[in-house]
Amino acid sequence: MQGCIGILSDGKPGHLNQSRGLADALLRLRPELEVQEIPAMPRHKAVIELLWPAKRPQTMRLLIAAGHATHLSLLALRRAYGCPVIVLMRPSLPGALFDLRIEPRHDGGSESERCWISEGPLNRMQPHAERTSDGLILIGGPSPHFAWDEAALLDQIKALCDGRRQWQLSGSRRTPPELLNALSELAIPGLSVHDPAMLPPGWLASELPRNAECWVSPDSASMVYEALTAGCAVGVFDLPAQAGSRVAKAMEALHERQLITSFQAFTTGSLPAPPAVPFAEADRCAQRILERGWL
């Protein structure tokens, strides 16, 4: 075996998606490597391992993790394996303890030798060469970043379904059931409403790259970045931003760079367009890691 990339997991799908996104990008550059997923240790076990590391096979070339619960395990396994470690967030422990941090811009960090800034969380999406003319609508739910307005969202969704495309809509774990029920009862022509609990695993990862256009509620920042990475033309519904919200500022920055289209702009005739340059943050970071000579 040429070597292994380790993913340390806290079991949360969102965190695992980020780590797998970077690992996938590294494998595209170094396909001879393998990936191993390792569960994070309980805190007490991580402390013991950190103080008295067990001998482990020296095939691990790099360790990647996201989520606060992985931090101690990541540091302990660095001692055991003797390889660099990368944390995909602003850590709760001092940043200098890690070989590299890759922090989403909305976390408010600044670029340095040991801290890279990414445009949003990394993810596993890859554009497809062929797309349908259909569209997706992805709805989140109440969050600290935007004032949730169900009536406004219903009006915007109805206006969006104007006959240009066939649309599929899905919520998330945060979506109030009342909203999905109301949309189903409206029976909007050209719109299929899905209960996220009834969708098969991997549905979103399969659908995003093959759809031409995707509209997202602004609270679902990770979905916005996934849609951009998948190469979709991305629109974002309008909801009032909470004062000082980092996520709201990130959405505003994407709009200023013309990467997303607001619903207000849509009502005046502006249609979303796919990114002019591929939005591929995981690949960009993977290339920089190889340039460091870590793999």
Please report, for the domain that includes residue 287, its CATH number. 3.40.50
The confidence band for 147, taking pLDDT boundaries of 50, 70 and 90, is very high
Are 100 and 197 found together in one domain?
Answer: no
pLDDT at 57: 73
119 with 194, same domain: the answer is: no
**Predicted local distance difference test score (pLDDT) of residue 33:** 96
Instruction: Judge if 102 and 145 occupy the same domain.
Output: no
Q: Are residues 176 and 218 in the same domain?
A: yes
Q: Is residue 233 part of a domain?
A: yes
Span 206-219, average pLDDT:
96
Q: Is 273 left (phi over 0), alpha (psi -120 to 50) or beta?
A: beta
Mean of per-residue pLDDT scores for the chain: 94
DSSP states along 213-279: EEEE-TT-HHHHHHHHHTT-EEEE---PBPTT-HHHHHHHHHHHTTSSEEHHHHHTT------SS--
Helix (H) or strand (E) holding 234: strand 233-236
The residue among 109 and 187 whose pLDDT is bigger is 187
> Tens digits of per-residue pLDDT, 150-182?
999 999 999 999 888 999 999 998 999 999 999
Regarding whether 107 and 150 lie in a shared domain, the answer is no
Q: Measure CA 163 to chain center.
A: 30
Same domain, 114 and 158: no
User: Number of structural domains, the chain?
Assistant: 2
What are the structure tokens assigned to 294, written together? 């870590």
Percentage of residues of the chain with pLDDT beyond 90: 86
Per-residue pLDDT, 218: 96
Do 261 and 145 fall into the same domain?
yes
Q: What is the pLDDT of residue 276?
A: 92
Domain check: are 71 and 188 in the same one? Answer: no
Domain hosting 75: range is: 4-124+281-291
Neighbours of 187 (CB within 10 A): 8
The pLDDT of residue 83? 93
pLDDT at 285: 98
Q: Which residues contact 165 (CB under 8 A, 6 or more apart)?
A: 133, 134, 135, 190, 212, 213
**pLDDT one-digit tens code per residue, 64-80:** 999 999 999 999 999 99
Same domain membership, residue 112 and residue 89: yes
H/E run at residue 10: none
Q: How many CA atoms lie within 13 A of 246 on its CB side?
A: 8
Q: What is the pLDDT of residues 49-107, one digit of tens each?
A: 888 887 777 789 999 999 999 999 999 999 999 999 999 999 989 999 999 999 999 88
CA distances from 169 to 20, 61, 142, 226, 292 (A): 26, 41, 17, 16, 42
**Single pTM value for the model:** 0.93
Structural element, H or E, at residue 253: helix 246-256
Helix (H) or strand (E) holding 191: strand 191-194
39 pLDDT exceeds 60? yes
